């Protein structure tokens, strides 16, 4: 299987579903809807929903009825990017090669676009279209896992710590906490969500969680690396911006070559976590390898 073909196919499935779920931009609230759609359809890789779908498929489940859950993860990810880019945060004008949300819709519009997407994600997760595939209890469990991963002890907390550490060369333990909360938590939760919808047993759930944690780590390590090595054109955002801000990164601790080794180790740990899975987990394995071969 060619992973790029797989990613492309799944990306289209996710984007088709997102287009159906997202509320139409009409009436008095048209501009607000437009601001959410702008960032949601700004060319994301859809890694989190695809991880969710791939995890369910690895367990032999048909992911079609759980598209709303997969889409909700992309809504949460997109909201986090909109808020991270705000002038009060990273103050980035460019994201995926396009003007950031606040550049187009203003600061207030961007804050509210993020708020709207985050809230809409929970609307999607609690949507009855999923009924029947998994129990209501499992769906509640899924909502709580995602809420915790995205919340004060997860993604939001990681971003708060990142902002608070700006211009400060934090110690490695703090860097790990920032990475783990800010990026790792939602990636892990995306895999866990797929595991729940695929009706994973306890052992499978634990294996998929280990896989999710490992690729979450690989993802952030490799992002640090891209920020050092990539060009602005390749990244679709300002290259070298971490070093400009004196941000603590893996390359700052381990050098570029040492960081590549760490990323490779994380990918191997991810693949190893899936040892008991059959060929249906191949997309998950390929996805792990792809993380450290992408350009952005």
Determine contact, residues 3/11, Cβ cutoff 8 Å.
no
35 vs 190, beta carbon nearer its own copies: 35
**From candidates 159, 188, 249, 259, binder to its own copies by CB under 8 A:** 159
Q: How far lies 104's CA from each of 31, 32, 50, 98, 232, in Å?
A: 11, 12, 28, 10, 20
Q: What is the spatial distance between Cα 178 and Cα 173, in angstroms, rounded to a whole number?
A: 9
Q: What is the spatial distance between Cα 38 and Cα 132, in angstroms, rounded to a whole number?
A: 33
68 vs 207, beta carbon nearer its own copies: 68
**From candidates 49, 109, 184, 216, binder to its own copies by CB under 8 A:** 109
91 vs 244, beta carbon nearer its own copies: 91
Least spacing, CB of residue 160 vs its own copies, in Å: 4
Residue 140 sits in the site that holds its own copies (CB under 8 A): yes
Q: What is the spatial distance between Cα 56 and Cα 198, in angstroms, rounded to a whole number?
A: 4
Q: What is the spatial distance between Cα 235 and Cα 262, in angstroms, rounded to a whole number?
A: 21
6 vs 122, beta carbon nearer its own copies: 122
3 vs 86, beta carbon nearer its own copies: 86
Residue 291 sits in the site that holds its own copies (CB under 8 A): no
**From candidates 94, 104, 160, 272, binder to its own copies by CB under 8 A:** 160
Instruction: Single out the segment in contact with its own copies by CB under 8 A; choices: 48-56, 115-123, 193-201, 212-220.
Output: 115-123
Q: What is the spatial distance between Cα 47 and Cα 223, in angstroms, rounded to a whole number?
A: 14
CA angle 139, 151, 259 (to 5 degrees): 110
Least spacing, CB of residue 229 vs its own copies, in Å: 28
Q: Which residues pair with 95 in a beta bridge?
A: 98
Size, binding site for its own copies by CB under 8 A: 55
Instruction: Single out the segment in contact with its own copies by CB under 8 A; choices: 40-48, 126-134, 213-221, 226-234.
Output: 126-134
Residues sharing a CB contact under 8 Å with residue 175, sequence separation 6 or more, in sequence order: 248, 249, 250, 253
- HSE, CB side, 13 Å, CA atoms: give it for residue 178: 22
Residue 108 sits in the site that holds its own copies (CB under 8 A): yes
Residue 12 sits in the site that holds its own copies (CB under 8 A): no
Q: What is the spatial distance between Cα 139 and Cα 34, in angstroms, rounded to a whole number?
A: 29
Query: Applying CB under 8 A, which residues contact its own copies?
Result: 23, 28-29, 31-33, 35-36, 79, 83, 86, 88-89, 106-109, 111-112, 114-116, 118-120, 122-123, 125-128, 135-137, 139-141, 143-144, 147-148, 150-153, 156-157, 159-161, 163-164, 174, 177, 181
């Amino acid at each position: 299987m060619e992973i790029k073909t797989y990613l492309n196919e799944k990306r289209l499935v996710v984007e088709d579903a997102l287009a159906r779920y997202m509320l139409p931009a009409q009436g008095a609230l048209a501009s607000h809807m437009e601001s959410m759609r702008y960032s949601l359809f700004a060319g994301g890789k859809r890694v989190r929903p695809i991880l969710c779908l791939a995890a369910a498929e690895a367990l032999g489940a048909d992911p079609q009825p759980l598209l709303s859950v997969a889409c909700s993860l992309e809504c949460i990810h997109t909201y986090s990017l909109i808020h991270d880019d705000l002038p009060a945060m990273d103050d980035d004008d460019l994201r995926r090669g396009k003007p950031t949300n606040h550049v187009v819709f203003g600061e207030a519009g961007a804050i509210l676009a993020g708020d709207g997407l985050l809230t809409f994600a929970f609307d999607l997760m609690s949507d009855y279209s999923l009924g029947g595939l998994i129990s209501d209890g499992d769906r509640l469990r899924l909502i709580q896992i995602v809420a915790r991963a995205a919340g004060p002890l997860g993604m939001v907390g990681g971003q708060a710590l990142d902002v608070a550490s700006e211009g400060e060369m934090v110690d490695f333990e703090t860097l790990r906490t920032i990475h783990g909360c800010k990026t790792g938590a939602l990636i892990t939760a995306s895999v866990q969500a797929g595991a729940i919808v695929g009706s994973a047993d306890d052992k499978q759930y634990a294996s998929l969680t280990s896989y999710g944690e490992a690729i979450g780590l690989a993802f952030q390590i490799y992002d640090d690396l891209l920020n050092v090595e990539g060009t602005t054109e390749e990244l679709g955002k300002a290259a070298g911006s971490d070093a400009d801000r004196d941000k603590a990164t893996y390359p700052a601790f381990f050098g570029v070559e040492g960081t590549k080794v760490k990323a490779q180790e994380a990918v191997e740990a991810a693949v190893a976590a899936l040892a008991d899975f059959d060929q249906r987990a191949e997309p998950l394995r390929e996805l792990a390898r792809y993380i450290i071969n992408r350009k952005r």
